[in-house]
Chain A
Amino acid sequence: MTPPLPATRQPRTIIDKIWDAHVITEQNGETLLYVDRHLLHDGSFHAFDALKAEGRKVARPAQAIAMPDHYVPTTGRRFGIPVADYRNLVDGLVANTAEAGITHFGMDDPRQGIVHIVGPEQGFTQPGIVLVCGDSHTSTHGAMGAFAFGIGASEVKHVLATQSIWQRRPKTMRIDVTGTLPQGLGGKDIILAIIGQITAAGASGHAVEYAGPAIRALSMEGRLTVCNMSIEAGARAGLIAPDDTTFEYLAGRPYAPKGKYWDAALAHWRSLPTDDGAQYARTVTVDVSNIAPMLTWGTSPEDALPIDGRVPDPATLDDPVRRESKTKALEYMGLKPGTPLSEIEVDRVFIGSCTNGRIEDLRAAAAVARGRKAKVPALVVAGSGLIKAQAEAEGLDRVFIEAGFEWREPGCSMCVGMNGDTMSAGMRSASTSNRNFEGRQGKGARTHLMSPSMAAAAAVTGHFTDFRRLDQA
């Protein structure tokens, strides 16, 4: 019998490697994990309030950056924020970060944007680090090979005070995405196909590594989209091993290491990918070679189908609880079983969010909008000021404006509607965001999730349309 390898030589997953490198101490099965980087936004006020009430100080201000994203207006910024409640939260972040000495990208700073867009864009997010933020879509940053997860306000307070967090070692799960993704499809189609297959609770309690040829073939933007929605499958975190795509994306970004530091960092990053033979608690395979552009019909991200599908009939479900919940979802969405998805008409289109507000997303949407006219109101919200500027330099803003789309300032906007960008009850949106929950885009509002190409195609036809067949539509 071969003796087991010494503990340090056991094949490890990338998740194990990052975890092991961040253990400060362990107690009662819980680990005190060192936090490298912390992102803060305008919803962080609960944490700062509590910190102040307890008379505590921010331990490592240099390891955080902050920016308002949830409550910022997407129009008329030169007039300030008209709604006092929102203004107070955005101003509160300015005051709290100034007092703590934390770098803040204010509303008039071109670097301002959605935290999950700006972290990677600034090179603040790096492979092998532990990154946290008081927002569930922090899983996004895993696309760069970081162990990144969303936390609650009390945990934000804890990280501010101690630069560490108590965690239980997550179970590991690998999702192998096999096959060659059809031309024109992207990260959003992959992640909707995954959640459709494994369900919204399918990765509960796990940190997920996405692997396989279809993942390796994705651009950095596509990978960020996939990892962004890990939380919608119930995962604590989702990540992708860093490779040359990651390193090329990072090189030269403001917070990325430079010169000899870059070489040292690169050597470390190259050691991160999962060792051959490492064990995962669970492995799932999703083949994407034959998928069509994906979209959701219900009120959970698991309610995803290809555009050539039809609204399903809950009556065919065996589980009575599931049958009732899907029946209620259809009632809320105002849909009848059997309706072809391509016949469903939309009232609003939203292109943006931390899922799909990157430059590649805007290019994909603009390619569909070019030379066409929107039939319904459509909103395009860049994920950051720098992306907005880049899109303008490429003339994408003009494409959108000529097609009758609105071109707005960066923020979370109509993904969650906290800044007032919402739609009224009964209205139906084609949205590039991440959640189709009841009331997510406004009380009684109906949300369908899809890629930027699909959302733009819905805008120019007024109904869900396979963007690849637009010329025949």
Chain B
Amino acid sequence: MEKFQTITAVAAPLEVANCDTDRIIPARFLKARRSEGYGKNLFRDVRYDRDGNPLPDFPLNKPAYKDAKILVADVNFACGSSREAAVYALHDAGFRAVIAPSYGDIFFNNCFKNGVLPIVLPADQVAAIRTALAEQPGSTLTVDLENQTVTRGNDVWSFEVDPQRKECLLEGLDDINLTLQHRDAMGSFEQQYQADRPWMGSPA
């Protein structure tokens, strides 16, 4: 996984509550292999018309946001299906961070596995950021994971992040390697567990 570094980039506001992962990437595109790339199908059905022409009203189609790397979304962003392809699509389209008041739990976890930082800020702060971005389309935000801040001009917002996830993201670490460091704990756990629950090993 690539390391997450401090970014200063164009941020795009997306005013949709409960934006589900079916909307981020529709089911019919999920059969593609990871190596084929998912970026072109990000928000496919709300971003393009029937003939594949970009819809001018959709924020990401506006020229000001064409280099956006940060998405500022609304409550319960990426709820619904567990499809990790929703993160693949954002990542492959260039997004490295999302800011929202809350997320679908599984999407939130999936982000950390793919080098995308999901930031939680209070709803009123996120709304203020979206308004500011909409007033100045194409303006930038700075996301600093090390110091856990989002900066816009003189405004600075602090966010929380789990220390372990932060470290994995900053270092680009694979969590399987991290887990395998706990082989001994796993071994003794399984031994005790099987002794306590002999029925779990009973044959089908």
Q: Is A261 an interface residue (CB 8 A)?
A: yes
Asked whether B27 lies within 8 Å of A417 as measured between CB atoms, the reply is: yes
Q: Measured between C-beta atoms, what is the minimum distance from A101 to chain B in Å?
A: 14
Q: Is A251 an interface residue (CB 8 A)?
A: no
Q: Is A204 an interface residue (CB 8 A)?
A: yes
Asked whether B18 lies within 8 Å of A24 as measured between CB atoms, the reply is: no
Chain B interface (Cβ within 8 Å of chain A)?
15-18, 20, 22-23, 26-28, 30-31, 33-34, 45-46, 50, 74-76, 79-85, 87, 102-107, 109-110, 113-114, 127, 162-165, 167, 174-176, 179-180, 182, 185-186, 189-190, 193, 197-200, 202, 204
Q: Which of B22, B87, B110, B198 contacts A437 (CB 8 A)?
A: B22
30 sampled A-B residue pairs with Cβ under 8 A = A27-B164, A28-B163, A29-B164, A30-B165, A32-B186, A43-B30, A43-B83, A54-B174, A129-B200, A136-B104, A149-B105, A150-B82, A152-B84, A152-B106, A152-B110, A153-B110, A157-B176, A164-B179, A166-B175, A201-B75, A204-B76, A231-B79, A254-B204, A261-B199, A300-B18, A300-B20, A416-B81, A418-B28, A435-B80, A437-B23
Q: Is A168 an interface residue (CB 8 A)?
A: yes
Q: Measured between C-beta atoms, what is the minimum distance from A234 to chain B in Å?
A: 6
Given contacts A150-B82, A155-B113, A444-B45, 12 further A-B contacts (CB under 8 A): A28-B163, A134-B82, A152-B87, A152-B110, A154-B110, A161-B176, A232-B80, A234-B102, A321-B17, A435-B20, A435-B22, A440-B27
In this complex, what residue of A is CB-closest to B190? A34
In this complex, what residue of B is CB-closest to A237? B105
| Binary per-residue interface labels of chain A (428-441) against chain B in the complex, 1 for a CB within 8 Å, 0 otherwise | 00000001011110
Asked whether A71 lies within 8 Å of B182 as measured between CB atoms, the reply is: no
Q: Which of A85, A129, A264, A416 contacts B198 (CB 8 A)?
A: A264
Asked whether A438 lies within 8 Å of B45 as measured between CB atoms, the reply is: yes
Docked Cα-Cα span, A56 to B15, in Å, equals 42
Q: Which of A27, A162, A236, A264 contacts B105 (CB 8 A)?
A: A236
Asked whether A325 lies within 8 Å of B31 as measured between CB atoms, the reply is: no
Asked whether B17 lies within 8 Å of A151 as measured between CB atoms, the reply is: no
Asked whether A24 lies within 8 Å of B189 as measured between CB atoms, the reply is: yes
Docked Cα-Cα span, A85 to B29, in Å, equals 11
Asked whether B164 lies within 8 Å of A201 as measured between CB atoms, the reply is: no
Asked whether B75 lies within 8 Å of A258 as measured between CB atoms, the reply is: no
List of 6 A-B pairs having minimum Cβ-Cβ separation, nearest first: A154-B113, A257-B199, A261-B199, A201-B76, A152-B110, A28-B164
Docked Cα-Cα span, A309 to B103, in Å, equals 31
Asked whether B82 lies within 8 Å of A136 as measured between CB atoms, the reply is: yes
Chain A residues within an 8 Å CB radius of B180: 162
Q: Is A100 an interface residue (CB 8 A)?
A: no
Q: Measured between C-beta atoms, what is the minimum distance from B115 to chain A in Å?
A: 11
Chain A residues within an 8 Å CB radius of B84: 46, 152-154
Known contacts A29-B164, A231-B80, A234-B76, A86 near B15 by CB under 8 Å: no
Asked whether A25 lies within 8 Å of B185 as measured between CB atoms, the reply is: yes
Q: Measured between C-beta atoms, what is the minimum distance from B169 to chain A in Å?
A: 13
Docked Cα-Cα span, A255 to B201, in Å, equals 10
Docked Cα-Cα span, A86 to B82, in Å, equals 19
